[in-house]
Chain A
Amino acid sequence: MSTPPRATPAERIELAHGAGGRRMTELIDGLFKRHLSNAWLERGEDSAVLARPEGRIAATTDGYVIDPLVFPGGDIGSLAVHGTINDLAMAGARPFALTAGFILEEGLALAELDRIVASMAAAAVAAGVAVVGGDTKVVERGKGDGVFITTTGLGEIPPGVELGVERIAVGDVVVVSGTLGDHGVAVMSRRAGIAFETEIVSDSAPLHELVARMLQRVPGLHAMRDPTRGGLAATLNEIAVARGVGITLRADRLPVRDGVNAACELLGLDPLHVANEGKLVAFCPPDAAEALLAAMRAHPLGRDAAVAGTVTAGPPGLVELETGFGGRRVVDWLAGDQLPRIC
């Protein structure tokens, strides 16, 4: 005798999961709330109501479309949390709330979504930030790429913290918090068509605690950025142009892992152009550089911090590199993406 058919929960995302009916409630209650549970989500209201913090508020929004969804050292869920926190941290803010919108593609395995949301929840808990609101939509098969996530992040800027590109001055020291290019290489190593073996994992990590330590020790820090897409080269070019200064880097000071160098050699890339997701570049007055480095190196995410270069009087907008070989060259930004969809 065969057992009678039993109603099984769907194993893949269906259009009904986004249609506002019972299926959608099942998905939200059974998957999203199960992982991300907190008082705001449990209330199930259209908006999360938050107490007003004392200081100024930093707000940021970001989208995540990475391919592949899971990569060595992370996945789109943890990346969305870290990326949003880091944008807030670069303003000196302490993140306190995130919201997340999920665009799901019909056919996505629920098990995969479950892993991603679990990872997002774990990243948020580890960083001490609550995901206070969310949204899900489902698009037809072929109209998305598994999962896209958009986030909004809110953070509180403590009194006395003043960071901004306009504060960068000639003579400032350029400090990077660690090895360059880890995220980009880790993602590329899993890309269809160019997959290769590497021990490199993404550096995806939340930087707000490192930033808090840095600001505590060097309150007069001038500016910070996280060099994500386009790598350190793009970030420094943006700053050099915006501030009308020159920046000179020293190749022998740049921290780059052997595995990243090797992968870049193989693919014809420059580690300066490769993305990071858990690194920052800070600008500080030269007399504060030693204290800043010490504060950074005392934190696990700043262990490999190094002085990468200095801000110069010009030519304005030009980033240059003193090569280890004894010559100089311009560090350009790229005309297009080295590789699309890495975050």
Chain B
Amino acid sequence: MKYVDEFRDGRLARVVRAQLEAEVEPRRSYRLMEFCGGHTHAIFRYGIQDLLPAGVQMVHGPGCPVCVLPVGRLDMAIEIAQRPEVILCSYGDMLRVPGSGRRSLLKAKSEGADVRMVYSAADALALARAEPDREVVFFAIGFETTTPPTAVALRRAIDEELSNFSVFCNHVLTPAAITSILESPEAREIGTVGIDGFLGPAHVSVVIGSQPYESFAEEYRKPVVIAGFEPLDVLQSILMLVRQLNDGRACVENQYTRAVSRHGNLRAQRLVSELFERREDFEWRGLGRVPYSALRIKDRFAAFDAESRFAPAERRARENRECKCPQILRGAAKPHDCKLFGTVCVPENPIGSCMVSAEGACAAYWTYRRHETLSLKA
């Protein structure tokens, strides 16, 4: 495939690998977190871990929107979907995720709820225009990447005075989650395993730019390299992080220059800030309540906000105590440290957030590295 194959070239990979091997200091450990599920997926899909020197360890962050959505919010979506007048539109990967009592949107659909899979907020908007007698609700999830398309759909609905369209907003913010990880007990306590540097998100950074990460680099002395999603992007970014750490530098570098600028997409940012505001806090599955980490629709546009329109009951669901997802997401544990991994917790029956979507760390270990992970566990 043109424009992509060059970023998957095995020969170039061997060159970068040789550089990594030459530059990684023996006996030093480099614990690097890739925040994004997209990076986790690329690392496993291409077997990048096999190319890394022993001292370099990847820690898999919480950057998968399906994984971090708390069960309570999913329960609210199911409640909205069960209203007879509602057509609930959702991205496909949300449909199978079990909520409380193992109930999923797919299950609600089989019981009669009108749940439709869409590929974009615009599809949901088109459905609202085509079905004026039904209430079309778009179940919006995702990081800064998917927020602007939701904003565009919302803006159009407002401008068209489309009275049967609303958004159940669950958009979350990357920088707040990274701060939460850096402020976690594991990261602050001296002598415990921490994270030495971050592979910054690719698509999120296209929207927000590289600037928001500058504070992590400065305040927490952690290098950040914004990395593209192709395997060679990831490998090169790891090399860039290793070089920063070797030099004692902690700054924001941009490997993904073909798409990311310092200030990002200002037009998208303006549209988002016009329609949305920060919630005081929001629960993240695995991280708990994180201050100012999510968006809600501004009161002015409450008519288009499914939460005010249908007032689903606020819910909090209890997570399984044995589940190690919170520690895994902060880099304090690996999937094989969890009792549930591969026994009761498998992709067909996910117990914790990291097993929920294909981009979660546990799902990736299970899907791509099952054999060695289970043998480590034994």
Contacts and interface: CB of A to CB of B under 8 A. Distances in A.
Nearest to B230: A325
Interface string A311-333: 00001001000011111111010
Contacts of A20: none
Nearest to B123: A193
Interface in A225-277: 252, 258, 261-262, 265
Contacts of A39: none
Interface stretch (B64-72, B289-297, B362-370): B362-370
Interface string A280-317: 00000000000000000000000000000000000100
B158 interface: no
Contacts of A194: 119
A194 B119 CA distance: 7
A329 B372 CA distance: 11
A103 B14 CA distance: 57
B371 A326 contact: no
Contacts of A336: 96
Binding site secondary structure of chain B: helix
Q: What size tier do the contact residues of chain A reach? A: 20 to 34
B47 A329 contact: yes
Q: What size tier do the contact residues of chain B reach? A: 20 to 34
Nearest to A267: B119
A324 B8 contact: yes
Contacts of B46: 323, 325, 327, 329
Contacts of A323: 10, 45-47
A5 B117 CA distance: 47
A265 B45 contact: no
A315 B13 CA distance: 27
Given A193-B118, A261-B1, A335-B348, A327 B96 contact: no
B44 interface: yes
Contacts of A335: 96, 347-348
A72 B252 CA distance: 48
Contact of B50 (A252, A261, A324, A328): A328
Given A194-B119, A262-B1, A326 B13 contact: yes
Binding site secondary structure of chain A: loop
A324 B49 CA distance: 14
Contacts of B98: none
Given A193-B119, A194-B119, A335-B348, A265 B4 contact: yes
B47 A325 contact: yes
A327 B347 contact: no
Contact of A265 (B1, B14, B347, B348): B1
A326 B51 contact: yes
Given A193-B123, A325-B231, A329-B45, A315 B371 contact: yes
* Centre residue among B1, B14, B118 by max chain A CB count within 10 A: B1
A330 B367 contact: yes
A329 B51 CA distance: 12
B368 A332 contact: yes
A139 B82 CA distance: 28
A283 B371 CA distance: 24
B268 to A, nearest CB: 21
A109 B235 CA distance: 56
A318 B371 contact: yes
Contacts of A318: 370-371
A327 B371 contact: no
Nearest to A259: B1
Given A261-B1, A335-B348, A326 B367 contact: no
* Centre residue among A194, A265, A323, A335 by max chain B CB count within 10 A: A323
Contacts of B44: 329
Interface in B112-131: 117-119, 123
Contact of A325 (B4, B13, B367, B368): B13
A326 B11 CA distance: 9
B303 interface: no
A324 B367 contact: no
B117 A193 contact: yes
* Centre residue among B4, B368, B369 by max chain A CB count within 10 A: B368
Contacts of B117: 193
Contacts of A261: 1
Interface in B212-238: 231-232
Interface string B350-378: 00000000000000001111110000000
A329 B231 CA distance: 14
A55 to B, nearest CB: 42
Interface string A160-174: 000000000000000
B17 interface: yes
B21 to A, nearest CB: 13
B118 A326 contact: no
Interface in B273-303: none
Nearest to A318: B371
Interface in A184-213: 193-194
Contacts of A329: 44-47, 368-369
Interface string B1-33: 100100010100110010000000000000000
* Centre residue among B47, B49, B50, B231 by max chain A CB count within 10 A: B47
B182 interface: no
Contacts of B367: 330, 332
A326 B369 contact: no
B370 A325 contact: no
A252 B8 CA distance: 11
Given A194-B119, A262-B1, A325 B8 contact: yes
A179 to B, nearest CB: 14
Contacts of A330: 367-371
Contacts of B338: none
Please give me the 6 A-B residue pairs with the lowest Cβ-Cβ distance, nearest first.
A327-B47, A327-B50, A325-B46, A329-B368, A332-B367, A335-B347
23 contacts: A193-B118, A193-B123, A194-B119, A258-B1, A262-B1, A315-B371, A318-B370, A324-B8, A325-B8, A325-B13, A325-B46, A325-B51, A325-B231, A326-B10, A326-B14, A326-B47, A329-B44, A329-B45, A329-B369, A330-B368, A330-B371, A332-B368, A335-B348
Interface of A: 193-194, 252, 258, 261-262, 265, 315, 318, 323-330, 332, 335-336
